[in-house]
Amino acid sequence: MEWNLLKKISYSLRIGIVGSKELSKKIFLESLRTTAIDSDLSNNKLEFLIIHKNIPIKIKVFLAVRLEDLIYNFDRIEKLDVLILTLNLYEQDSINYYNKALVEEFSDVLSFQGLSVLVGMNIEQILNKPPSKSLKISRFHLEKLTRELDLIYCYEIYNNNKDVTDIYNQILNDFIFRFQYSSPDLFEKAKIYGKHLQNEKVSLT
């Protein structure tokens, strides 16, 4: 009975990713899929179970082309713990996709108090395309936009394996820290279950 209770202890994260859905699937979802010990991508579900620092974490992802789409679908989404805003570093107009009023509306409608990340994606390099002749959005302007929108983190993606892993590690480390200090007893029980899941995975390989 005690073990059955332990099996239910995991951390849950709901992540909203804004930008091209095809690129988000290729870059962000593929990274989760390769590290997950279980996933459900059927019937428009984007759910993953991963182990990070021995803690089982259930991740549910919501994709949206525009930030407005998350706002309009708030009744289906209910809440988000993480917001990732993406833009193409070689599309100068993409820096205008987001503004402070829109981000504030999103935060108000979804009562958002989670982690927010701005991600500039070097699409040419990620997709191994020939170098673009277009002007690239600079790191300076990317960081400036991050401050204007009152977001927490700013990243650039050139290598969609290492760079995306760095983003997820930052997010997961932050939430594990919160979990450990807000619920230390549950944290330790979740860690026991996480180690059990890892051992199960090893025994099946």
What is the residue-wise DSSP string for the chain? -HHHHHHT--EEEEEEEES-HHHHIIIIIHHHHHH-SEEE-STT--EEEEEETTEEEEEEEEEESSHHHHHHTHHHH---SEEEEEEETT-GGGGGS--HHHHHHHHHHTT--SEEEEEEE-HHHHTTPPPP-SPPPPHHHHHHHHHHTT-SEEEEESSTTHHHHHHHHHHHHHHHHHHHHH-HHHHHHHHHHHHHHHHHHHHH-
Output the pLDDT for position 202: 60
- Burial of 146-165, coded b for 16+ CB within 10 Å and e otherwise, reads beebebebbbebeebeebbe
Amino acid 2: pLDDT = 43
Domains contained in the chain, CATH given: 11-198 (3.40.50.300)
The predicted structure's pLDDT at residue 3: 44
The pLDDT profile of the chain, 205 residues, written as one tens digit per residue, is 344 445 567 889 999 999 998 888 888 999 999 999 998 887 677 999 999 999 999 999 999 999 999 999 988 888 999 999 999 998 888 888 999 999 999 999 999 999 999 999 988 888 877 777 778 899 999 999 999 999 999 999 987 788 999 999 999 999 999 999 999 999 998 998 898 888 876 655 5
Give the integer Cα–Cα distance in Å for 16 and 139: 23
Nearest partner of 63 among 51, 50, 77, 49, judged by Cα: 77
Rounded CA-CA distance 112/173 in Å is: 19
| Residue 62 CB burial class (10 angstroms; 0-12, 13-18, ≥19) | middle
